[in-house]
Amino acid sequence: MRVGLATIQRGRLDHVERQVAGVADGSLRPDAYVVLSMDPAGATAVDERVAAAVDGPADAPRVLRLPVADGAPLPLAEARNTAIRALGDVDLAVLLDVDCIPGPELLARYAEAAAERDGLLAGPVGHLPAGRPTGVRLDADDRRAADVRGARPVPGDGELLAEPRHELFWSLSFAVSPETHARIGGFDEGYTGYGGEDTDYAFRARRSGVPLTWVGGAWAFHQHHTVSSPPREHLRDIVHNARRFREVWGRWPMEGWLAAFAAEDLVAWSPEGDRLELLGAG
């Protein structure tokens, strides 16, 4: 089985460097590895960080560019579709968020799972505390310090757990065959900027009869970075994408964020209706 790995990034050079080193340390090396950069035109630092993270060119990913001007919404859906296509004739495409460092067995566990089941495959994600890893490479102490958040299950190593709740899918770490990705229809590129595009992808997978499975042992480790809650810097993107999602699925996504925005008078929102409007300077 040919396994490809892809990640998309914008301004996360330290995270890219650690991810690339983690891939090089894995028990299974990818047959193709792509880093798609959305840094502005002229930025070259990502190539330098990629080269610094590995011992030789055989381990280095291919860097592709989808330049986005400062202040413009990031085309996350388009970037993921482009990255999967760029992997070429692989049997399985693994997508990792740029913040995620693969565990040593991540690719191997995804490949084993794909040999048994088709569909969306998702591994557990451990969240690293601030200050870890202390260097470029993740070690056993770092992995033990990670914690699992939210309601997503953590099956045992090698266990496959069917998940009927497609709304639990997230794009931090998942695997899919290119054929199944095409059957789903890819990520909807009508979503621009941050929010909602991965839930839409999972819902269209469910509509297409594509199952979701948790893959025990396919660990990824999410690197700490500061976040705002709610993410006010993404307000316009979230409103645009929430409207699109509502039009397609008849329900609101990201309800916690929308409620928080409404409480701060940033939006006028009707949870049971169709109204979602920006207020004031938003």
Domains, the chain, in order of start with CATH, read 3-222 (3.90.550.10), 232-278 (no CATH)
Amino acid at 270: S
pLDDT for 14: 87
In three state form, how does the secondary structure of 65-114 look? ECCCCCCCCCCHHHHHHHHHHHCCCCCEEEEECCCEEECCCHHHHHHHHH
pLDDT for 41: 80
pLDDT for 274: 95
pLDDT for 43: 65
At which residue do the structure tokens 């042992």 appear? 217
C-alpha distances (whole Å) from 29 to each of 8, 11, 24, 110 are: 19, 25, 7, 12
pLDDT for 161: 97
Ranges of residues in the chain with a pLDDT under 70 are 43-44, 55-58, 281-282
pTM of the model: 0.93
Segment 79-115, tens digit of pLDDT: 999 999 999 999 999 999 999 999 999 999 999 999 9
pLDDT for 58: 67
**Residues sharing a CB contact under 8 Å with residue 262, sequence separation 6 or more, in sequence order:** 268, 269
pLDDT for 127: 93
pLDDT for 54: 73
CA distance 245 to 247: 5
pLDDT for 281: 57
pLDDT for 107: 98
